[in-house]
Structure 1
Amino acid sequence: MFDEKKTSREIELLGGEARDIRWKNFHLIVPHTVYPPREDTDLLASVLEKVTPFGKKKFLEIGSGSGALSILAATLGWQVEASDVNPYAVAATRFNAIENNIEISTSEGGIGPSQDGQHTQWMNPGSYDLVIWNMPYIPAEETHEYLGPMEDAALIDTHPSGLLNEFGEMIRRFQLISPTGIGLILCREFFANQSTKNVLLSKGLATQSVSSLTFEDGETIQVLAVWHPFVQSKKQQMHTVSSTNSEMLEGTYKPGDSLRARFQTDGKGRHGRTWDDHLDSFKGTWKLDSNLIPQISSQLQCQVALEIASSFQSMSPLDDSIRVKWPNDLLVRDKESKEWKKIGGILFQSLSRGNEQSLVLGIGINTKTTNLLKGRGSLEEVGVELDNTQLFTLLDGIVSSLFENKSNLSNTSNKGTEINLKLLLKECIYREKTCTLTGISDAGNLLIKSSQEEDFEVSDDLSLLWPHLQLQ
């Protein structure tokens, strides 16, 4: 990757004069090969400033560069440790902390190939309340010109399985953040043709994009918050219930608690329809904080269904095999007929008791093809092999990502503002006219256009027919 010429160039640069930079209220000396504060640093800083120190206030920055973010974190009240694979960055972080009268513990190392040493040489596993990382987000295969081994360490992802995968695995195994901790990473929207969010969700983690920046060339970087979903909540399993939604609404559960059952005797869908139960289907419900969700809109239902569909599509080896029928049905494409079949759906329900309002989210999904009624499909048909325990882990992360408020980073009031139209079923019939979906209104209604260029806004899904949906 690095020839003698590039390495010699880097050695020559190291003998040059360091840059003198003013960032926020800090004076920084930045040697050559050390990553200086840039737009991505500012983006991560804007998120960091929103997080009030919590827990034991233990903070780790991976890839500290000049030390700018670590110094900022210390002024916010965190007990800061900083690491970098570039020894000159470690020296810069240490020097700049002293120059700004800040106490920071520094170490050389970071996430990388196992032959680079043990993780314990640069951090204390599983002990941090907040971990941040301005991740090298340029894949090695996209890079044709290399600068030098130390300069490129801050820019290029050379890990065999990808740094995002390794980071997610370390979080999953409690090797970085504490059970109640948060990771903040700056990364691209996509990793190896997958959404970065889906990569982390597939590991049973919760994640949410809390800030983003789009450059003139159209590339978008984002700050993702990552955490363990609902770690202080009850995750209950039962053999048989009338319905998981009813059980949770009528029981003594707290927001974040979940319940799944092997059998439902009286499961319901939208409009009071009966949910046909069988052994190989997932039935689960989550209690939500009604104070964070002012109203249950079609837009919110659709957003939850789309988040689930996006994760399934990322796992399926078949392209365009998953869809959502507005507002809340999950569909798979039949291999032979190419028509769509329902595999499940989501359902919000609420119950008022005096001044107390209970709100739950139920999710039902067919995982296997056995014993299915006509017009019903399963995840198995599109190559998504998950048992109910694995599916719960994934869904727990998705629900937490949408509705768990972590240190005021999450913003549930804005859920549903980012509708991915690509995964919505497009063709429908309305008032005997063939129409195509064009969007979702702010009120959550379906926006459609007829073949005669007439525009309609539809609030009732019962008024629509879907010509490519198998009858049930």
Structure 2
Amino acid sequence: MYAPQEDTELLAAALADEPLAPGAAVLDVGTGSGALALTAARRGARVTAVDVSRRAVYAARLNALRAGLPLEVVRGNLFEPVRGRSFDLVLANPPYVPAPGAHRPPRGAARAWDAGGDGRLVLDRICHEAPGLLRPGGVLLLVQSALSDPGLTVDCLRSAGLKSAVTQRQRIAFGPVLRTRVEWLRERGLLSPDENDEELVVVRAEQPV
């Protein structure tokens, strides 16, 4: 688990633009410290937060207690703890950083950012599984890096029958992880020679009514 970063802030801005009825069912996967889940809870939503990290689950529960907000926090791998349930809004800030040594699953803290050689290890699962959790008119808000092919995310969600588009963009300086991978990313063709920062995007996908 790590403290909220620019990707959380960008997803929070997209959440602020989203209408959210009182009592709406919200799912926050990869909740981390619970920042986004608590933002939705403050707006009167019924929020379930999921994370695979025990430390993250503990932190989210503690932050909810401190805030005096009702929050269901469960430990599990992505959507496994909420099978059979449906939601009005799904928030996702998954691992999306392309990583060398993709044949090895990420371990420890790296599970929060490393996502295979193309950065899509978790993104592809979300694209395939999230549509089945959305109620009619339900929305998925997902943040990722431009390095992990947002166009493929949009196309995959459209193929599942959702209306999908990139709705937010922000360029940020390379963080400590990407700074160690610049040359590798350029060798892979994921980063051009003149790129010295990273673009984050939010993909919004809506289930037709």
* Structure 1 residues 273-329: Cα deviation after superposition (integer angstroms, max 9, x where no partner): xxxxxxxxxxxxxxxxxxxxxxxxxxxxxxxxxxxxxxxxxxxxxxxxxxxxxxxxx
Amino acid at match of 1:108: R
Q: 2:136 aligns with which of 161, 179, 200?
A: 179
Specify the alignment match of 2:17 in structure 1: 50
Q: Which secondary structure state, in structure 2, belongs to the residue aligned with residue 40 of structure 1?
A: helix
> Residue in 2 aligned with 1:317?
none
Instruction: Name the count of aligned residue pairs.
Output: 184
Matched, 1:227 2:206: yes
Q: Distance in 1 between matches of 2:98 and 2:22?
A: 35
Distance in 2 of aligned mates of 1:201 and 1:169: 11
Computing the radius of gyration over CA atoms, which structure comes out larger, 1 or 2? 1
SS in 1 for 2:69: coil
For 1:241, the equivalent position in structure 2 comes to none
CA distance in 2, matches of 1:64, 1:201: 25
Deviations 1:185-225 (A, max 9, x none): 00123536954322322333221212111124232111111
> 1:397-453 CA distances to partner (integer Å, 9 max, x unpaired)?
xxxxxxxxxxxxxxxxxxxxxxxxxxxxxxxxxxxxxxxxxxxxxxxxxxxxxxxxx
Candidates 105, 109, 130, aligned match of 1:151: 109
Distance 1:98 1:56, change over 3 A: closer
Distance 1:56 1:74, change over 3 A: closer
Local SS of the residue matching 2:154: helix
Candidates 99, 102, 110, aligned match of 2:77: 110
Match of 2:126 among 153, 162, 167: 167
Name the residue aligned to 2:47: 80
| Alignment of structure 1 residues 3-152 onto 2, 5 Å | 34-54=1-21, 56-111=23-78, 119=80, 122-141=81-100, 149-152=107-110
Deviation of the 1:107 alpha carbon:
0.5
Deviations 1:256-279 (A, max 9, x none): xxxxxxxxxxxxxxxxxxxxxxxx
Offset at 1:163? 1.7
Q: How far did residue 68 of structure 1 move?
A: 1.1
Equivalent position of 2:183 in the other structure: none
CA distance in 2, matches of 1:152, 1:133: 17
Q: 1: CA distance between counterparts of 2:26 and 2:151?
A: 29
Q: Which runs of 5+ in 2 are unaligned?
A: 174-195
Shift in Å, 1:124: 4.6
Aligned to 1:201: 158
Counting strand residues as a fraction of each chain, which structure ranks higher? 1
Change in Cα spacing, 1:53 to 1:102, as seen in structure 2 (3 Å) is same
Match of 2:190 in 1: none
Aligned AA (2:61): R
| Deviation (angstroms), 1:180 | 1.9
Classify the secondary structure of the residue corresponding to 1:219.
strand
The match for 2:171 is: 214
Contact preservation (8 Å) 1:138, 1:155: yes
Contact 2:90 2:140 in 1 (8 A): yes
Gaps of 5+ in 1: 1-33, 112-117, 233-472
Amino acid at match of 2:123: L
1:77 partner SS: coil
Which of 1 and 2 has higher RCO (CA within 8 Å, sep 6+)?
2
CA distance in 1, matches of 2:197, 2:154: 19
Give the corresponding residue for 2:188. Answer: none
- C-alpha distance 102-182 of structure 1, shift in aligned 2 (>3 A): same
Aligned-residue RMSD, C-alpha: 2.7
Q: Structure 1 stretch 133-142 or stretch 177-186: which is displaced more?
A: 133-142
Note the C-alpha offset of 1:80. Answer: 0.8
Q: 1:159 to 1:101 in 2, by over 3 A?
A: farther
